[in-house]
Structure 1
Amino acid sequence: MPKVRIFSTPTCAYCKTLREYMKSHHIDFEDIDVSLNEALLNEMIEKSKQGSVPVVDIDGEFITGFDKKKINELLKIKE
């Protein structure tokens, strides 16, 4: 199973939708609240070249936003 991390904030609507999508497909993930952890926020910005959330890290491949097509491709989700 791939390692999945979601960089998010509690007030981000797209983050909530992304988390619900992952749960609906039984994908285990680590939810990282970047509003509480500056070091992880900096990691997200450095690796994704993006300062906004959500950012998804799937086995080291960073996806900015809720890009369902790319997420499905990397996690082999069939809809």
Structure 2
Amino acid sequence: MINVEVYTTPTCEDCKNFKKFLREHEISFTEYDIADHPDYADTLRNRSGKNLVPTIFIDNQIFFGFVFNRQKIEKLLLT
């Protein structure tokens, strides 16, 4: 099973689009809202070196943003 984690904020449209994509394809994921939990922002910075949302972890790969990485993400998750 593929492990999908995403760091988000409530106002991020790209985050909403990614979560919608996951739900439409019934892909389970773990969400970390850095606005509600500032400690998640520290974890994100430690894991990725950046403080961008959405930051998407799929198994051992990291993606900054959904729209710009959609083709790669779809290939990983839908094939």
Superposition TM-score tier, normalisation by shorter sequence: 0.7 to 0.9
Question: Which residue number in structure 2 is paired with residue 50 of structure 1?
Answer: 50
Structure richer in helix, relative to its length: 2
Deviation, 1:47, is: 1.9
Mapping 1:54-73, distance limit 5 Å: 54-66=54-66, 67-73=69-75
For structure 2, the residue ranges without an aligned partner over 5 or more in a row are none
Q: Structure 2 length normalisation: TM-score?
A: 0.84
TM-score (norm 1): 0.84
Q: Structure 1 segments of 4 or more deviating over 2 A?
A: none
Does the aligned pair in 2 maintain the 1:50–1:64 contact within 8 Å? Answer: no
Runs of 5+ in structure 1 lacking a partner? none
> What is the aligned residue count?
77
- RMSD, aligned CA: 1.4
